[in-house]
Amino acid sequence: MIGKLPKVGTIEIAPSILSADFAKLADEIGQVEKAGLKMVHLDVMDGHFVPNITFGPPVIEKLRKYSNLFFDSHLMIMEPAKYAEAFIKAGVDNITFHIEVAPNPADLIKKIHDAGISAGLCLNPETPVSKIEKYAHLADMILVMTVHPGFGGQSFIQAAANKIKPIRQIVGPDIRIEVDGGIDSKTASIVTELGADTLVAGNAIFGKPDRAKAIEAIRNACVK
């Protein structure tokens, strides 16, 4: 395992700041850090790979000064290889990129590893498991999208979650499987039962006034 990604064997919840108040990001991240979480999920969107635009390296670089959380960046951008270095310099602890826009996934994983951080490989709901099969074992984490990427607060797609089991069979127990999209206290039990161990939740945490309580509800729903 390369970098600071929490070792397998625990269930980690990674709140997505997409649903946080962007004018108060440092405070918002501070709240989930205080609640005892280790990771925060940073959704980077470029308006091309997905029909929405969020933030990039300059914002992450500033946030880095305010938080010791594991910065789990999820690049929903075209040409992730072109921008990986900028995100590394900004201080992310993990780069997850999409297989749909990565012509050389093995090279990009190596580039990320050479920088001393972990690499995640992501697949959209309509992308079959076979697309990642050859490269999955090279990554530290596989990210299974359970909504079409681009926006927070969408409904969980069960058919996409059903890919967790076959992916777990391919990667074995030593690689994290992260799920992203529509995760709340109901769906958390479904995805952990299927074998996911890293849960992204935006709306279900930052959309709630009491973040600690929202995190607790998700944690209690997880099947160990």
Residue numbers at the binding site for Zn ion (CB under 5 A): 43, 74, 180
Q: How far is the CB of 149 from ligand DX5 (least distance, A)?
A: 4
Residue 57 contact, options ligand DX5, Zn ion, none, Cβ 5-8 Å cut-off depending on partner type: none
Q: How far is the CB of 191 from ligand DX5 (least distance, A)?
A: 12
Comparing CB distances to ligand DX5, the nearer of 148 and 165 is 148
Question: In the stretch 140-159, what mask flags binding to ligand DX5 with x, by CB under 6 A?
Answer: -------x-xx-xxx-----
Residue 94 touches ligand DX5, criterion: CB under 6 A? no
Pairwise CA distance, residues 213 & 190, whole Å: 20
Pairwise CA distance, residues 185 & 169, whole Å: 25
Which residues have a Cβ under 8 Å from the Cβ of 182 and sit 6 or more positions away? 146, 147, 154, 155, 156, 157
Comparing CB distances to Zn ion, the nearer of 75 and 129 is 75
Q: How far is the CB of 95 from ligand DX5 (least distance, A)?
A: 14
Residue 74 touches ligand DX5, criterion: CB under 6 A? yes
Pairwise CA distance, residues 121 & 115, whole Å: 16
Told to judge if 93 belongs to the known catalytic residues of this protein, a careful annotator would answer no
Judged by CB under 6 A, the chain residues 165 through 224 that form the site for ligand DX5 are 180-183, 200-204
Residue 43 touches ligand DX5, criterion: CB under 6 A? yes
Question: Residue 77, SS3?
Answer: coil
R_g over Cα of the chain:
16
Sheet of 94-98, strands arranged across: 12-15, 198-201, 176-180, 141-145, 118-123, 94-98, 70-76, 39-45
Which residues have a Cβ under 8 Å from the Cβ of 194 and sit 6 or more positions away? 161, 162, 164, 165, 168
How many CB atoms are located within 10 Å of the residue 9 CB? 8
Residue 18 touches ligand DX5, criterion: CB under 6 A? yes
C-alpha closest to that of 205 among 5, 3, 37 = 37
Q: How far is the CB of 223 from Zn ion (least distance, A)?
A: 22
Told to judge if 180 belongs to the known catalytic residues of this protein, a careful annotator would answer yes
Annotated active-site positions, please?
A: 43, 180
Footprint on this chain of ligand DX5 (rule: CB under 6 A): 16, 18-19, 41, 43, 74, 147, 149-150, 152-154, 180-183, 200-204
